[in-house]
Structure 1
Amino acid sequence: MKRKEKNNTKRYTYMTWIFILLVWLAVTELNLISSRLVPSPIQVIKTFVDILNNGYNHTSFWAHMGISMYRLFLSSVLALITAIPLGLLSGYSNKVRAVVDSVVQFYRPLPPLAYYTLLILWLGIDESSKVMLLFLAAFAPIYLACVSAVSKVNPDFIGSAESLGASKKDVFFTIVLPACLPDIFTGLRVAVGVAYTTLVSAEMVAATSGIGWMVIDASKYLKSDVMFVGIIIMGLTGLLIDFCLRKIENKVVFWKGK
């Protein structure tokens, strides 16, 4: 029954995207909208093949992809190894939470461009400021997910383990951490998505490569076909990254939902 429902859901998804593509094709082929504003799917495919073969702005397509993925991956890893311990400690200790939480809650709603110029002044125009911007964007969702996860841990489990002589270390690694893993993965998926959306901001200033920069540069010259290529690539790679994270989550947190 569940498999049938899942197949029906996939069918609806495929039908939705087929409908979107057909409408896009019809609108552009009938010249209802200027090709300067919305290029046809055929033109977008031709532009993608051209960029794949010849690159963009004297830089190969894979170099653009590589630098963007490097910035995203490095910042996400740094956020992961710092936000998880700080988030778990904040959820576990009110004193740590009093120190860290207010700082995170202060900068979290700020638009990235509001403090990106400060990061450039402090760290320079090279990769450091870009990675730091993405790191700050990814840090908050993981941290908040960890704090929330600790608050959901059943205190009876902790009390039972301690009454049986378990140390705080044992309690943390056998009860608290496994109970928090589902929320941690959810926070990680959100964080990577937020960091990816911030990537365009990071590549707007003092950059000459990257998928986000390619979209921004194309917008200056009204190259809507290049913009569509960049946006579609970012959307597809975002889906691929999220798919990989869900697969890892299913392997690591195999008890989730059971």
Structure 2
Amino acid sequence: MTDAGKPTAAAARSGPGPLARLMRGRPSRPGETYGVPGQGDATWLSVGSILFLLFLWWLVTAMGWVKPLFVPSPGAILTKFVDVWNNGFTNTPFLEHVAISTARVFGAFLLACAVGIPLGLAMGMSPVMRGLFDPPIEFYRPIPPLAYLPLMIIWFGIGETSKVLLIFLSVFAPVTLGARAGVRSAAIEQIHAAYSFGASRWQVMRHVILPSALPEILTAMRIGVGFGWTTLVAAEMVAATEGLGYMVLSASQFLQTSTVIMGIIVIAAIAYAFDLLMRFVERRVVPWKGRM
């Protein structure tokens, strides 16, 4: 008979099981955790995926399987980009279109963060605030921006205010709800411990709740700015003479498919660049995310 808690001879000879060996293993490379592919592997997979899609796009257009009116070739898109870069679009330089659309989106995004994050934290901490603001936010959140675009025009006219406000509303809901959900990430034991050491309500918010909520807030910001770029085209439908959304809509009316696709790619590139920036900020500000 073996002593309780001691492995038998057969178990000792067989060694640790696969799960034990996996959990004991140390990451062989930075970013790799217990057999999960590291960041480098994911990067190469992303590059390979993009190259494959570009090759498939080129093949479809080169073989003539789709008419250029519907899907221009990558070369045609590149040629159109160079042409718009050099000559502009509707007598407006290309970089001016980019700057105006970027200012609209990120102006609305910063305003939504400045209002939504404090409100979301307050809703997460106070049942009164949650009861007051949760119903209207949840009511308008699933409504497409095109549905309340006419109201923005009636109330605020056709100037910049209606455009920025439309983008603001599309970003505000996910940012606010993300901050509210992040408050729940704070362990109640940590909050009680902070109060037992004499911390004030502001100190508990600053040193316990906010660090715990940061991963959720940053994720909500990434999602929110994506909604902002999605709403940009709708916002620039009304009395706009500049901007990437205006360029895409105006080109579509004249069946300039290469310009439409080029504008879509530029919007996607800017949004993806900001997403990469937010991921970099996440790794620096909340390095513990995904490792707890």
Instruction: Measure, in 1, the Cα distance between the counterparts of 2:176 and 2:217.
Output: 9
Partner residue in 1 for 2:93: 60
Q: CA deviation at 1:132?
A: 0.3
Give the distance between the partners of 2:161 and 2:221, measured in 1 at CA.
22
Q: Do structure 1's residue 197 and structure 2's residue 230 form an aligned pair?
A: yes
Matched, 1:180 2:216: no
The residue number in structure 2 matching 1:7 is 40
1:70 is aligned to: 103
Distance verdict in 2 for CA 1:82–1:126, change over 3 Å:
same
- Asked whether 1:249 is paired with 2:282, we answer yes
Compute the RMSD of aligned alpha carbons: 1.3
Residue of structure 1 in register with 2:9 after alignment:
none
The alpha carbon displacement at 1:255 in A equals 3.6
Determine the C-alpha separation between the residues in 2 that align with 1:140 and 1:180: 16
Quick check: 1:93 aligned with 2:129?
no
Deviation readout 1:143-186 (Å, 9 max, x if unpaired): 11111111221111111111111111111111011111111101
Output the CA distance in 2 between the equivalents of 1:65 and 1:158: 46
Distance in 1 (CA, whole Å) between partners of 2:67 and 2:245 is 24
Equivalent residues of 2:184, 2:213 under 8 A apart? no
Sequence identity (%): 40
Q: Distance in 1 between matches of 2:247 and 2:93?
A: 11
User: How far is 1:14 from its partner?
Assistant: 1.6
TM-score normalised per structure 1: 0.97
Q: Which amino acid aligns with 1:12?
A: L
List per-residue Cα deviations over 1:54-113 (Å, max 9, x = no partner): 001111101100100000111000000100111000000011111111010000000101
2:18 maps to none
Deviation at 1:245, TM superposition (A): 1.4
TM-score, length basis structure 2: 0.86
Residue type of the partner of 1:230?
G
Report the alpha carbon displacement of residue 7 of structure 1 after superposing the two structures with TM.
2.7
Q: 84-93 or 9-18: which moved more?
A: 9-18
State the shift of 1:8 in Å.
2.7
Equivalents in 2 of 1:158, 1:22: separation in Å? 54
Count of residues in Structure 1 that have an aligned counterpart in Structure 2: 258
Q: Secondary structure, in 3 states, of the residue corresponding to 2:64? A: coil
Does the 8 Å contact 2:85/2:94 carry over to 1?
Answer: yes
Aligned match of 1:43 = 76
Q: Aligned letter for 1:95?
A: V
Query: Max radius of gyration: which structure?
Result: 2
Unaligned runs of 5+ in 1: none
Question: Who is 2:137 aligned against?
Answer: 104
Gapped regions of structure 2 (runs ≥ 5): 1-27
Distance 1:255 1:12, change over 3 A: closer
8 Å CA contact 2:72–2:258 kept in 1: the answer is yes
Matched residue of 2:184: which SS?
Answer: helix
Residue 128 (structure 1) aligned with residue 161 (structure 2): yes
Is 1:118 matched up with 2:136? no
Secondary structure at the residue paired with 1:233?
A: helix
Q: State how 1:207-246 maps to structure 2 within 5 Å.
A: 207-246=240-279
Greater relative contact order, per chain length (Cα 8 Å cut-off, separation 6+): 1
Whichever structure has more helix as a proportion of its residues is 1
Q: Which amino acid aligns with 1:38?
A: V
Equivalent residue number for residue 18 of structure 1: 51
- Following superposition, the deviation at residue 238 of structure 1 comes to 0.9
CA distance in 2, matches of 1:105, 1:12: 38
Corresponding residue number in structure 1 for 2:66: 33
